[in-house]
Amino acid sequence: MKVIAVMPAYKEKSRIVAAILGVRPLVDQIVVVDDGSEDGTAEEALQTGVTVVVHAVNRGQGAALKTGTEAALKLGADIVVHIDSDGQQDPQAIPALVAPICEGNEDVVFGSRFLGVASEGMPLMRRIVLFLGKLFSHVVLGIPRKMTDPQSGLRAMSAGAARAIDFRQDRMAHCSEILRLVTRSDLRWMEIPVRVSYTEATLAKGNQTSDAFTIVWNLFLGFFQ
């Protein structure tokens, strides 16, 4: 099966090459989506020989994943993997993510930071926010309680699932939207443990605690689209 990784990137010039090199041995092809960066991220990625798609303006991680997923399907992907380009997520989880799909047992596999693998450097406030996010996802969005990490951005899906999951959220709410669409469909899904390493640089650039309110608001608006 042809496995293509989609890596959304925004102002990741200093980290994108290392992230690509970590993922490359584990997949057949990589699509990097430069989401309107102005620091040369696309140029750095191009030097590694991967496929690069560029957004003229910053549209958000959800939009970048949508663009990258469509590109991967056009390139003949049997399995699409979503993985961040900042190096937080351990690419060594990719074989375990795709294995249940290759075996025909699952359609979508999510990585979880809360299934027995300790994430390095996760601040206490981040843990609290993610716990509250899990409660919100279950009570408001109807996502099953057994889902342990509703905000994980590391996932794999079959080509058929990728075509069926028509997510619309351009920015941070895409994780919750994807989960809602998957768990309300007939798609088979599961979680596996993954390791995530937080650093001062990635925490400064990543989602902030206040972003949780934006996610909730965007999801609320999405119900009326």
CATH of residue 122: 3.90.550.10
| Domain extent at residue 107 | 3-222
Residues 65, 162: Cα–Cα separation, whole Å:
11
Closest to 58 (Cα-Cα) out of 12, 13, 10: 10
- In the prediction, which pLDDT does 186 show? 96
Residues 130, 139: Cα–Cα separation, whole Å:
14
- In the prediction, which pLDDT does 195 show? 87
Q: How many domains does the chain have?
A: 1
- In the prediction, which pLDDT does 88 show? 86
In one letter, which amino acid is 218?
N
The whole-model pTM stands at 0.82
Residues 207, 7: Cα–Cα separation, whole Å:
17
Find out whether 79 and 158 touch, Cβ atoms under 8 Å.
yes
Residues 64, 57: Cα–Cα separation, whole Å:
11
Residues 96, 168: Cα–Cα separation, whole Å:
27
- Residue 105 DSSP one-character state: S
Q: What do you get for the CA distance between the two ends of the chain, in Å?
A: 35
- In the prediction, which pLDDT does 22 show? 97
Find out whether 95 and 19 touch, Cβ atoms under 8 Å.
no
- Residue 118 DSSP one-character state: P
Contacts of 112 (CB under 8 A, 6+ apart): 148, 149, 152, 191, 192, 193, 194
Find out whether 155 and 110 touch, Cβ atoms under 8 Å.
yes
- In the prediction, which pLDDT does 178 show? 92
- In the prediction, which pLDDT does 220 show? 44
Per-residue pLDDT of the chain (225 residues; tens, 9 = 90+): 999 999 999 999 999 999 999 999 999 999 999 999 999 999 999 999 999 999 999 999 999 999 999 999 999 999 999 999 988 899 999 999 999 999 999 999 999 988 876 556 565 566 656 666 656 655 666 666 678 887 788 999 999 999 999 998 887 778 888 988 999 899 999 999 998 876 665 555 555 545 544 544 444 444 434
